Amino acid sequence: MKTRISVFLSLFIAFTYGQNIDNSLLHGLNFRSIGPAGMSGRVTAIDVVQSNTAIIYAGTSAGSLWKSSNAGTTFEPIFENQKTASVGDVAIYQKNPNIVYLGTGEGNPRNSQNFGYGMYKSMDGGKTWKHLGLEKTKSIHRVIVHPDNPDVVYAGAIGTAYGTSEHRGLYKSVDGGASWDKILYTNTSTGVAD
């Protein structure tokens, strides 16, 4: 009974005191794009330079990769004009933080999941990026760089969210991403995530 009364009072107040917007107030305003329509806004990856914790990389589901050099006070986009804006994971080689690996494609299966275009690498702290392949994996959920060798990289590919794919599995590179070997594969329905 209390619920019915609450709903009735809420609707009564909303309809009684609700006002129309005066369209003349909107005159002169221009519409603008505020980003992809894929329900972005989710942070999907984060890594911090251990020797300088003011440097933070944050990846989003559909809003690309961002970098802060002031402990998160402000962020700048650093992965623009690429074939995807969806980030699955970011990994910094801590002994030389200019080396950054990026796995694209959100690894969180959901109705608004955005696919990626494989692996990327930056040798200059995110100023420039080189595509490293694995574009058919669609979603790379985890990237790990060997702590003593920046050329040894692991990429966990979850694959497409709703369907089978032979490109799922765990990939390893021993040459900085120039080539990849699939070192773990179960079946077309099982990907790698953490």
Question: What pLDDT, on the 0 to 100 scale, is given for residue 178?
Answer: 98
Q: Number of structural domains, the chain?
A: 1
Interatomic CA distance for residues 181 and 35, integer angstroms: 35
Question: What pLDDT, on the 0 to 100 scale, is given for residue 40?
Answer: 54
pLDDT tens, position by position, for the chain (194 residues)? 677 777 766 766 666 666 677 777 777 777 765 555 555 568 889 999 999 999 999 999 888 999 999 999 999 999 999 999 899 999 999 999 999 999 999 887 776 778 899 999 999 999 999 999 999 999 999 999 999 999 999 999 998 878 899 999 999 999 999 999 999 999 999 988 87
What size, in residues, is the chain? 194
Residues in contact with 133: Cβ distance below 8 Å, sequence separation at least 6, in sequence order? 118, 119, 177, 179, 180
Question: What pLDDT, on the 0 to 100 scale, is given for residue 150?
Answer: 98
Is the pTM higher than 0.85? The answer reads no
Considering the domain boundaries, does residue 189 fall inside one? no
User: Are 139 and 154 within 8 A, CB to CB?
Assistant: no
Considering the domain boundaries, does residue 193 fall inside one? no
Considering the domain boundaries, does residue 84 fall inside one? yes
Question: What pLDDT, on the 0 to 100 scale, is given for residue 39?
Answer: 58
Considering the domain boundaries, does residue 153 fall inside one? yes
Question: What pLDDT, on the 0 to 100 scale, is given for residue 14?
Answer: 64
Considering the domain boundaries, does residue 106 fall inside one? yes
Considering the domain boundaries, does residue 194 fall inside one? no
Considering the domain boundaries, does residue 192 fall inside one? no
Considering the domain boundaries, does residue 104 fall inside one? yes
CATH of residue 7's domain is 2.130.10.10
Domain membership of residue 153 as a residue range: 2-184
**Angle made by CA atoms 48, 110, 32, in degrees to the nearest 5:** 75
